[in-house]
Amino acid sequence: MNLQTNLLNWFQKNQRPLPWRKAYRPYEVWVSEIMLQQTQVETVLPYFKRWMEALPTIESLAQADEKKVLKLWEGLGYYSRARNLHESAKFIVDKFDGQFPDDFEDIFSLKGIGRYSAGAIASIAFNQEQPIVDGNVFRVLSRIYAIKKSIDDPKNREIFWRLQKSLIPKGEARHFNQALMELGALICTKENPKCLICPVQKFCKAFKEGNVENYPVRSARKKMVKIQATALVLGKNGKYFIHKRPLGKIMGGLWEFPEWKLSRDRKFSASQIQQKTLKHIQDDFDMKIEDLKNLGTIKRNYTHHNESLHVFYAKFDDRDLHHKNDWPSAWANKSDFKKYPFSSAHSKIAALVSTL
């Protein structure tokens, strides 16, 4: 038996019963692949279920308003992906009569679809012999073949794409591509790989060399940057001020409490943070606030950044509120928060408001 046969037999017996595998509906495969980008399967499952209950077809997604789409995506991050799904659904309805395209180039042309996603959708939904290389596949192939080239160097990645395509057995693209990813997720894991029960152990050069955990090879990691930031919960008569980030900005289309960046790789004392927050409030709202209540600190991480977001509460009187930006804004009560799509961090702020 060869590597492919061993892997396919293992996958048939051990694959996880994921909802998009029940019928391999192209729409479900597409949504799952976008949700799974840089996100664990266990995290995606409840989001996928909620999404399909609310938007079961491409037509229903195309007809939904953006606020609903972003609210369904809330907590997954990378909100441009939700907007791309929404825009692509409208395009599919307009150009393909609501039928997800089965041509690889048409799939690749959809907004937010890259080489990996196009290959995953084409192979999983339509069983086309298109290669896929994600983090799991990089790890599995680099170990099996003891590839000593850094996967962080773009010119080296083509080695993996060519190799993966050459391995796909005829007529088995759907199962083989998923089997490779499943092996990386369940057996050939980043830490503590389960080599002794691996179905392709006898083909693995890294296992024979006894240095599995040295693969994949990576360049030196970038240093993490520490960020200090502050956010304001401004309350008036049981309602709280929020505004909507404009499209084109990071987190565009999402609602948030006002926030400001304070420092990069510099630590401030609690009193300094409070003073800087008061200064931002005065500058941006043209008003003086004497008393701030500390609601807590929220940690959030994004590419090469560790951020501490310090959250403060202040009461506001009945004067008109003036803000120097012209973003859409609203005064929302606690029960209204569920109607607005927030980022994960600002959802946590909304939860803190419930303690007031």
For the beta carbon of residue 322, count every other beta carbon within 10 angstroms: 9
Exposed (0-12), middle (13-18) or buried (19+): which is 201, by Cβ within 10 Å? middle
User: Among residues 33, 74, 182, 256, which one is catalytic?
Assistant: 33
Q: What element of type H or E holds 311?
A: strand 305-315
Asked if 33 is an active-site residue, the reply is yes
| CB contact set of 77 (below 8 Å; sequence gap of 6+) | 39, 343, 344
Cis peptide preceding 216, ω within 30 of 0: yes
Residues 351, 353, 354, 355, CA torsion sign: positive
Distance of alpha carbon 122 from alpha carbon 231, whole angstroms: 43
Amino acid at 282: Q
Distance of alpha carbon 239 from alpha carbon 356, whole angstroms: 11
178 closest CA partner among 252, 122, 238: 122
Which two structure tokens, joined as six digits, stand for 159?
């080695």
**What is the greatest pairwise CA distance in the chain?**
78
| CB contact set of 67 (below 8 Å; sequence gap of 6+) | 339, 340, 341
Are the C-beta atoms of 298 and 348 separated by less than 8 Å? Answer: yes
Q: Which residues are catalytic?
A: 33
